[in-house]
Chains A and B, each alone.
Chain A
């Protein structure tokens, strides 16, 4: 799901960054946000809505809408679309309001 060839931009191969998602080890690259790394791994569902438990993905990708909130290193309500991915991060789907 990464773009390999682009007429305008140059996506050079970047260093890998490993992190854990719901207990599984996944890899992103340097410069990723948590949400972009998950998406590159085919993970679109990031959270569940508070009442109806409907699946949610990101929507705005620039930190405006909270649709991408996840539990990161134990901290709920982390806006994963603007949080840079770091080596060893522990990322989990957030259910509801994000009590842990």
Chain B
């Protein structure tokens, strides 16, 4: 069995930033991702990011990805990258089971950082399994990573930042966005994103949802309807839109299965997206030497995933016996950054989640 000092599972902003700190401190890192390239969600984020300069605000997600990846290239043999490699199992003695192409192998790690991100949720409606009903992130992957149009006419479901941003990106790819529906009474993402698509002609319909998709082999149309204050569909308010794609953006769920296999404790915290690992302020799970950061510990943003990644990397470094005294100030500053990122009205949910976690600093 291969022996490795630190294994990081997931090479999104969280995993990449954790790797950076560990490598800086002198540890040997093995970075695993099932995708063919590094970057996680960033690979498809063609828009300019929010935040402050510290989190690369005003740079596009794809460019931030390049910055993060190129900061790792100087480390040569200290860093081992395994792409197209899926982690399929984890055991409490910190053994990781991987599959690359047809090959199955195991790695014994001293420390593990889990940065697997999240998966997209779905919602129930008639025919929601028809080809043409896609998660918003999937549509983004298809367009921005592979350059393929998901369809010609799209209904977007959900007004969070992802729904709003993917609508805009669909238009940039020359695809018609017929409307955006939102079950809640108001838009949940940033208003600047909403205004941006609204002034380009996309109807944003709140208190509205999908009744059913229409089509036999694939989506041909969609029926939408108004919702009453108890979120029930109102008979008679139905109307049909001609779309070949229904794009679902109704939230994300942390990918915690691997942690559960390993025996780490998870807890249901709705505000953070569902089952999330129990962690302490150092981002260590209930299994010693196993850490988690980024969307897998609670759905937030790339900006916070990067900060958490750095914090986690430094802590893992310390536990491996490296001297991190020189990084005390940096650690303090990182916690401060997180505090600001979680401060505004849009972060109310995240704050509520962290309050339940007893970790509001």
Contact = CB atoms under 8 A, between A and B. Distances in A.
Interface of A: 1-3, 5-9, 11, 31-33, 36, 39-40, 44-46, 49, 54-65, 67, 81-82, 84
Given A58-B134, A61-B141, A44 B218 contact: yes
Contacts of B356: none
B142 interface: yes
Interface of B: 34-36, 46, 60, 62, 84, 86, 119-120, 122, 129-135, 137-139, 141-150, 172-174, 216-218, 255
Among the interface residues B137, B141, B149, which one has the most CB atoms of the partner chain A within 10 A?
Answer: B141
Contacts of B34: 63, 82
Nearest to A63: B34
Nearest to A36: B146
Contacts of A61: 134-135, 137-139, 141-142
A29 to B, nearest CB: 8
A39 B172 contact: no
A65 B147 contact: no
Contacts, number: 102
Nearest to B255: A64
B131 A56 contact: yes
Contacts of A54: 129-130
Nearest to B131: A57
Nearest to B120: A60
A81 B119 CA distance: 14
A85 B347 CA distance: 41
Contacts of A62: 35, 119, 137-138, 141
Contacts of A63: 34-35, 86
A2 B147 contact: yes
A9 B147 contact: yes
Nearest to A14: B147
8 contacts: A40-B146, A55-B131, A55-B216, A55-B218, A56-B131, A57-B134, A60-B138, A62-B119
B129 to A, nearest CB: 6
Contact of B149 (A1, A7, A82): A1
B249 to A, nearest CB: 12
Nearest to A58: B138
Contacts of A39: 142, 148, 150
The 5 A-B residue pairs with the shortest CB-CB distance, nearest first, are A57-B131, A61-B138, A36-B146, A44-B131, A11-B147
Contact of A2 (B129, B137, B148): B148
Contacts of A44: 131-132, 217-218
Nearest to A11: B147
B142 A56 contact: no
Given A61-B139, A81-B141, 4 more contacts: A33-B146, A39-B142, A59-B122, A82-B34
Contacts of B255: 64
Contacts of B172: 6-8
